[in-house]
Amino acid sequence: MRSNYLRRLGNSDLLVSPVGLGCLQFSSGKGISGVMWPSLRKKDINDIVKASINGGINWFDTAELYGWGESERALSRSLNELNISRNNIIIATKWWPLLRTAGSITATIEKRLSALNASKIDLYQIHNSFSFSSISNEMKEMAKLVEQGKIRYIGVSNFSAKGMRKAHKELSKYGLTLVSNQVNYSLLKRQIEKNGVLDTAKELGISLIAYSPLGRGLLTGKFHDNPDLINSRHIFRRYYASLNKKKLKASSSVVEALKSIALKYQVTPSQIALNWVINVQGETVVTIPGVTKVGQASDNSGTMDFELSEDDLGYLSEVSFSF
């Protein structure tokens, strides 16, 4: 069994726990993300953050889009109320590019720093590749922020293999490197293994940050055990997560495999699913599951207290191959 350990994020000096905490659910009912998640009380957020840190998680991922800054503010407020030193944690956030130009990256950085109550952002990411500006111009603006001391490292999110290479090449002009690409990756979403993203990350030394590692809840098994739970979720979330009977049937064999292996290790199916994500590709992939309950936070951090055998990793890969 392997105890809690840290991994280097890309070619940076950021040492992160294999499991971090995604903070989309801290949006407080605001914005697009807020519609899909229940609004959490300050106490709930504090308890989640505290349980995560106590479990060995040392980094948090948020974004401008999450409640248009509300998630960033909620995270910052929680860290302050819990008296958590910023020197002991790593914070990643993202700039929203849609309908904007690269100049917005530098023009809005003070808002991000203010929302986070920070003088510097550890990892600043381009949220997706849809922008009025080129990757070249975006990387130029990000490099300016590094030079100004406002961010430490640069990442992207939802970029293709080609986009990753372009960003990496452009940053090299400034003596910098692309540290990470945030992607949808789980036992039910394995496209990065086939579209060149994973191969490119390994070749260039870029870390992949897996979001939705539990298949947006499907891999917990709770919807398979009680399909009526689907109707309790907001319609937008049901659509976004493909929560329907067809998806339940298609994923049932994977969930049964998770339950079987969970009994062997005396852990939960969720922990098995997360353990596969952070170990099946060596140390290339880390993950940022989101939670709405303190018990889920403890469950996620417990993923780092063991490591699946090669046989079990291979079996899960085989069972989920079609995804």
Q: How many domains does the chain fold into?
A: 1
Mean pLDDT across the stretch 82-110? 97
Helix (H, G, I), strand (E, B) or coil at 69: coil
- 300-314 pLDDT, tens digit each: 999 999 999 999 999
Q: What band does 251 get if pLDDT is binned at 50, 70 and 90?
A: confident
Look at residue 259 and tell me if it is in a domain.
no
Look at residue 71 and tell me if it is in a domain.
yes
- How far apart are the C-alpha atoms of 200 and 98, rounded to whole Å? 25
- How far apart are the C-alpha atoms of 215 and 237, rounded to whole Å? 12
Look at residue 261 and tell me if it is in a domain.
no
Look at residue 255 and tell me if it is in a domain.
no
Look at residue 161 and tell me if it is in a domain.
yes
Look at residue 251 and tell me if it is in a domain.
no
Look at residue 91 and tell me if it is in a domain.
yes
pTM: 0.94
* Alpha helices, DSSP H, located in the chain: 31-36, 42-54, 70-81, 103-107, 109-116, 135-147, 161-172, 197-204, 222-225, 235-240, 245-265, 269-279, 294-301, 310-319
Mean pLDDT across the stretch 5-30? 95
- Domain span at residue 48 reads 7-214+267-307
- 136-158 pLDDT, tens digit each: 999 999 999 999 999 999 999 99
Look at residue 262 and tell me if it is in a domain.
no
C-alpha dihedral sign at 160, 166, 170, 172: positive
pLDDT at res. 115: 98
Q: What is the CATH number of the domain that holds 115?
A: 3.20.20.100
